[in-house]
Amino acid sequence: MQAFIKRADLLADDGSAMVPILALYGNGMVMAIDAHGSMATLIFLQDDLGLVFHDRDKSMDFLITSWRDNYKPVINWESNRRIVKAFPEYKQRNYTARYQDNITKYGTDPSQWPQAEKDWTVEYDRGWQYVSDVRSTSNAFTALPADPTADEHWPPAITPVQ
């Protein structure tokens, strides 16, 4: 599920109290990270871990105190969000197909390809380098940072692949 949390609540979370959730959405919905304003952020919670407590008296949902213990799904989702924003999956597939087509037409050495395809390859490589950088960063996490969606924890964003 996708949970919107106030950034200030994430930064203040010391594991001793439950963190209030502003809104919850299913994974089938595509939610923008800023859908609840700039003071909130969006994190992914694996559904089957029971990380959300619904307080009926307060009519509110909360992250349980141990929600940070299983951090990999949160990090993996954030890494995917960043990658897809810069290099959408359909473009990854299209670019890979074109690259393979160029290999078939012109050979395995891109330096021997026509200039237009050499120029195109620069953009292709830029997209895949960003994917690699984000994945490397994601794999290096050993714990969940206070705000896993903060840009400071990730490689600099690139403009979307054209």
pTM for this prediction = 0.90
Q: Where are the beta strands (DSSP E) in 56-157?
A: 60-63
**Residues 77-115 pLDDT 10s:** 999 999 999 999 999 999 999 999 999 999 999 999 999
Mean pLDDT of 125-151: 97
List the chain domain ranges.
2-67, 74-153
Mean pLDDT computed over every residue of the chain? 96
What is the dihedral sign for C-alpha 121, 123, 124, 126? positive
Using CB atoms within 10 A of its CB, is residue 23 exposed (0-12), middle (13-18) or buried (19+)? middle
**Paired tokens of 88:** 């959408």
Confidence at residue 6, expressed as pLDDT on a 0 to 100 scale: 97
Q: How far apart are CA 139 and CA 88, in angstroms?
A: 20
Residue 28 reports pLDDT greater than 90: no
